[in-house]
Amino acid sequence: SRIVCDLIEERRPPGVFAAMNDACATAHADSSAADNSLVQRLAGCASNVHFQLRGQQFLVRHYAGDVSYDVKGMTDKNKDQLVRDILDLIESSGQSYLKELFPDKVDRESKKRPPTASDKIKV
């Protein structure tokens, strides 16, 4: 099932995760624009026999069966904003125990793209 893994994870040609990260990077504020951008980028996967684009949904043919995904809201979930919000909350807390558990700080000045949910899955 290497073909399906490549469909999902490959950078070149862009797989599902790469298409999602690109869509998130180019349409920051408007989630529906990011979702539409994702649909356009996923069209590049259409030549893969294990992939089928169906409007605002796509289908991946896994070894265990077909799985359908809805694009709506997918890019917002991929941005993983909740993690940043939680780290901000912990950082502002007076509880040293929490700060010891979660030492990472959110760097708002960084130009580097923060890791997305799909980046974390690949690791």
DSSP 14-35: T-HHHHHHHHHHH--S-HHHHH
Question: In this predicted model, what pLDDT tens digit does every residue of 5-57 receive, in sequence order?
Answer: 889 888 888 889 889 888 888 766 678 888 999 999 999 998 999 999 999 99
| b/e map 46-58, b = 16+ CB within 10 Å | eebebbebeeeeb
- Per-residue model confidence (pLDDT) at position 117: 64
> Nearest to residue 71, comparing CAs of 29, 113, 48, 43?
43
Mean pLDDT of 66-78: 90
What residue segments make up the domains of the chain, in order of their start?
2-78, 79-122
Q: Which residue has the higher pLDDT, 72 or 13?
A: 72
What band does 67 get if pLDDT is binned at 50, 70 and 90? very high
- Per-residue model confidence (pLDDT) at position 56: 94
We find that the CATH architecture of domain 2-78 is Up-down Bundle (1.20)
3-state SS assignment for residue 107: coil
Question: In this predicted model, what pLDDT tens digit does every residue of 97-113 receive, in sequence order?
Answer: 887 887 766 666 665 66
- Per-residue model confidence (pLDDT) at position 77: 82
